[in-house]
Structure 1
Amino acid sequence: MYEDKTLICKECGKEFVFTAGEQEFYAEKGFVNEPQRCKECRQARKNAAKAGREYYETTCAECGGPAKIPFKPMEGKEYYCSECFAKRKAEAE
């Protein structure tokens, strides 16, 4: 049903392939627009957004160690370090 398409990256101008599998994925997710950037430019853009992110330090509610979170902590709420957060998420599944 889908065929690979060659598109031009609006960031770097290079050609990249929008594969049939990617097109099917986009359709399943309800995305109507084709990607405008190649994989490398999308990744670079994503990493640039993360670099400017401010982190706040708080105390992990489970292990008592330091926990860094990307938003200002609210008093009375529990926050978890990366390890405890991942462990809790795995237990919930």
Structure 2
Amino acid sequence: MNQDKTLTCRDCGDQFVFSASEQDFFAEKGFTNEPGRCPQCRAANKQRNGGGRGGNSNYQQREMHDATCAACGVSTQVPFRPSGDRPVYCRDCFSNNR
């Protein structure tokens, strides 16, 4: 049975409570480390880094490449460099051919 713990935030230095229910949640998810930041600094850090999951300060927008749809002939952009040996489809034609 877990008990509430008082931890110190590594960013702002304030103390915060790591509740027993939060500890249970962390254990359920397989997290082995206690949180290093208070909830406010955690939220601010998440906001700075792109909102969580997959977001980090090194995130770059995907490079898009111009292409012509093999089905309808419209100009489009795709997130890969077309090699010419396979057809490329616009978003609509790709969805229709799935």
Matched, 1:37 2:43: no
C-alpha distance in 1 between matches for 2:90 and 2:50: 24
Kindly, what percent of the aligned residue pairs are identical? 46
Structure 2 stretches of 5 or more lacking a match? Answer: 52-56, 65-77, 83-87, 92-98
In structure 2, the CA distance between the partners of 1:16 and 1:54, relative to structure 1 (3 Å rule), is same
Cα deviation, residue 33, structure 1: 0.6
Indicate how the Cα distance of structure 1 residues 7 and 78 shifts in structure 2: closer, same or farther if over 3 A, else same. farther
Partner Cα separation in structure 1 for residue 14 and residue 89 of structure 2: 47
Amino acid aligned to 2:48: A
1:12 has 2:18 as partner: no
* SS, match of residue 33 in structure 1: coil
Runs of 4+ in 1 over 4 A off after TM superposition: 51-56, 75-79
Give CA deviations for 1:4-55 in whole Å, capped at 9, x if unaligned: 1110001000010101110001111111110000011011111111286554
- TM-score, normalised to structure 2's length? 0.54
- The 3-state SS of whatever aligns with 1:11 is coil
Output the aligned Cα RMSD: 2.9
When residues 9 and 73 of structure 1 are mapped into structure 2, their CA distance, relative to the original with a 3 A threshold, is same
Higher Cα radius of gyration: 2
Q: For this pair of structures, how many residues does the alignment match?
A: 66
